[in-house]
Amino acid sequence: MKSDHLAKAFSEQFVLTIEDLKVILQTNSRMTIFRKLKQLSYQTSYSHCGKYYTLTTRAQYNKYGVWGYGDIFFSQYGTLKNTVLANIKNSTSGLTASELEEFIHTPVYNTVLDLFKTRQVNRMQIGREYVYLSLQEGKAQFTLRQKEVQSRHTSKDGTDEYLILFMSLLNEKQRRLFAGYESLKLGYGGDRKIAHKTGLNTKTVSQGRQELSSKNIDMGRVRKAGAGRPSIKKTKKS
């Protein structure tokens, strides 16, 4: 039975592409392939433009409904849009795009913007970021988010205030690398936590962490080559 061959292939490789399935089932018919997949119950990746397939029984979803196999990600909610929407609804204090990307592992800016424009979620701005909120529980979510932000900036020992003051004494590259170092110490979720403490963008913290991990740092440059304003050369009038 070709279905048996397919089940065995998934047990050995976990994740397959449509081209892999054509070889296994010895057919070029997509209709035949999806009919066989349906018999086994399958999931399509929300990353890589839905290129990969796995069996539902293979996926081990985390609390966000996400399962990753290497850099390939699947969701119990199916599509990326449904995954983002479900997590916004289930969150206690809403989610920013950068917070969503921390556990969804793929860019979500266009997705959250589309959800907002089609009135499936609401959003409110705090600082430099939008917090995306449930239509039903958005008011309560935003109230809690405001309390969280206030708590971070009025800590009893003044830790955040002193940290921000210290960061202001560093140049752009030093701030990025220091934040990356602190994120590495925290491990999973460190980028988001350090971004909140320092006021830096999550992507900036992530960049600093990656630079440190690569151990290939050019301290002679503050920015990447080509970044910043062009130099102004004085010329003498002839």
Residue 74 identity? F
Q: Which pair of structure tokens corresponds to residue 94?
A: 């809403």
Q: Are strands 66-69 and 52-55 parallel, antiparallel or unpaired?
A: unpaired
| DSSP structural state of residue 48 | G
Q: What is the pLDDT along the chain (238 residues), one digit of tens a residue?
A: 556 778 888 888 889 999 999 888 888 998 988 888 888 889 999 999 999 999 988 889 999 999 999 999 999 999 999 999 999 999 999 999 999 999 999 999 999 999 999 999 999 988 778 999 999 999 999 999 888 877 765 554 445 666 777 777 788 888 889 988 989 988 888 888 888 777 788 889 998 899 888 887 776 654 544 544 454 444 444 4
pTM greater than the 0.85 cutoff: no
The fold for domain 80-152 equals Arc Repressor Mutant, subunit A (1.10.10)
CA atoms within a 13 Å half-sphere pointing along the CA-CB vector of 19:
1
